[in-house]
Amino acid sequence: MVLFLCLLLLSAARGPHDETALGRGIIYPAAYLGSTQLVTTKQPTKKVRMQQAQEAVNRIKTRLRKRWYKSPDGEEQPSTEVDLAISNERIRVLNADTQVSDMQETMMDHPLKTISYIADIGNIVVIMARRRQITRTLDEAMEESGVMLDAEGRRQPRKIICHVFETEDAQLIAQTIGQAFALAYLEFLKANGIEDPHAQEIDYHDVLNSQEIYGDDLMLFSNKECEKEVLVEKERGEIMGMVVVESGWGSLIPTVVIANMSPFGAAARSGKLNIGDQVMSINGTSLVGLPLQQCQQTIKGLKSQCLVKFNVVSCPPVTQVLIKRPDTKYQLGFSVQNGIICSLMRGGIAERGGVRVGHRIIEINGSSVVATAHEKIVEMLSTSVGEIRMKTMPLSMYKLLTGQEQPVYI
């Protein structure tokens, strides 16, 4: 079917318009240059269609030049100003200069299923359509498909009508028609109870768009008042007395987090650093994006200094997560093992919602899962829909705070 072919070629399900607006119709101003008929094959390739579109443009431009030469005063022959009305049912060409009781004169009207291809070439858009008749005798049905018989009953070549328009919105018009095909295709699937992977992809894209980037640190990093410069005084040869861990893969700004401080160390004595603070730089050297071991070595190298300047963003030790999942058919996009987030799909709703690899889940929808079995956590996540709220923290920090590991201060 042409509908399936055009959907495949244009792949415009994620088009530029709202589905409701496209159902009513989108109107673009354009200049109608003319139409021509071309001989076509039964199942032309995309390359052939583009060649046909270019041939149609060349024909129309040649025709316009001939008119110009024949004009008595040599003036350029004007094109017709029109409005292209595009919906997920049809494409209409309306006379922009004709208004009768607010109803524009319809110059052409093509149901969407009769459109074979759309091509945009610079500021030119070509719409190719099969011929269509209102009544359908056998001969007329063959004419509709582009097949005609001569006087001796032999098949004549298939023909296709090419309408050529000039507009600055050529590319956008092609995208809009492609989106109209995609929506019409989805309606066809729903009406026939057919599940299609392409339709699921479109659905997931809509879900992804509804999932805003979430996380307390988003507000914290954007708020200059939360970023602070801390001067820590210490004895020469004294360690900082702190433990830092990775913020977790998926963090908005990957850096190290203060996970623990010795109550007698220089860091704790300053009274200005807290567990959960993300360290952006030390003495002007950025730690953002550096491996944990390199950040630890930088801190160890401060042992000989008496005054150290930290640039940190004050963050709570617990990370808030909000994932919007309308139905269980949509994957969350991360894996869990014994409450620990092991992997994360880049760009999915989970990453946008604040999930980080290497974090321990503490709470799901207000219920603590600290002592919950793995199977139960998986069940809670796999069956949850709507807004899924979680609290997580880096695994190393969790183990230090719960006494499962002893801190090694640097």
Q: Delimit the CATH 2.30.42.10 region(s) of the chain.
A: 216-313, 319-401
pLDDT at 216 over 60: no
pLDDT band at 266 (very low <50, low <70, confident <90, very high): very high
Residue 164 near residue 38 (C-beta atoms within 8 A)? no
What CATH architecture is 319-401?
Roll (2.30)
Residue 407 near residue 260 (C-beta atoms within 8 A)? yes
pLDDT band at 146 (very low <50, low <70, confident <90, very high): very low
- Name which residue leads in pLDDT, 410 or 142: 410
Instruction: Give the pTM.
Output: 0.47
Please tell me the least confidently modeled range out of 214-218, 262-266, 361-365.
214-218
In this prediction, residue 141 carries a pLDDT of 41
In this prediction, residue 73 carries a pLDDT of 54
Give the span between the Cα atoms of 138 and 310, in whole angstroms: 84
Give the span between the Cα atoms of 228 and 144, in whole angstroms: 73
Beta strand residue intervals within 101-143, DSSP E: 103-111, 115-121, 124-129
> Which is nearest to 410 in space by CA: 292, 317, 288?
292
Q: Delimit the CATH 2.30.29.30 region(s) of the chain.
A: 2-210
> Which is nearest to 156 in space by CA: 56, 40, 54, 63?
40
Residue 40 in tokens = 């076509």
What CATH architecture is 2-210?
Roll (2.30)
In this prediction, residue 212 carries a pLDDT of 64
Q: What is the pLDDT of residues 95-143, one digit of tens each?
A: 877 654 456 688 889 998 888 888 888 899 999 988 654 334 444 444 4
In this prediction, residue 377 carries a pLDDT of 92
Q: What is the pLDDT of residues 343-370, one digit of tens each?
A: 887 777 888 888 888 899 999 999 999 9
Arithmetic mean of pLDDT, 4-16:
41
In this prediction, residue 1 carries a pLDDT of 32
In this prediction, residue 145 carries a pLDDT of 43
Q: What is the pLDDT of residues 304-342, one digit of tens each?
A: 999 999 999 888 888 889 988 888 877 788 888 889 998
Mean pLDDT score across all residues of the chain: 79
Give the span between the Cα atoms of 134 and 128, in whole angstroms: 19
In this prediction, residue 47 carries a pLDDT of 80
CA max distance for the chain: 107
> Which is nearest to 320 in space by CA: 387, 384, 392, 268?
392
What percent of the chain has a predicted confidence (pLDDT) above 70? 75
Please tell me the least confidently modeled range out of 250-259, 284-293, 377-386.
250-259
- Name which residue leads in pLDDT, 154 or 81: 81
In this prediction, residue 222 carries a pLDDT of 55
Integer distance in angstroms from the first to the last C-alpha of the chain? Answer: 69
CATH number of 216-313: 2.30.42.10
In this prediction, residue 153 carries a pLDDT of 53
Q: What is the pLDDT of residues 157-201, one digit of tens each?
A: 778 899 999 999 888 898 888 888 888 877 776 776 655 555 455
In this prediction, residue 5 carries a pLDDT of 32
Please tell me the least confidently modeled range out of 55-64, 175-184, 218-227.
218-227
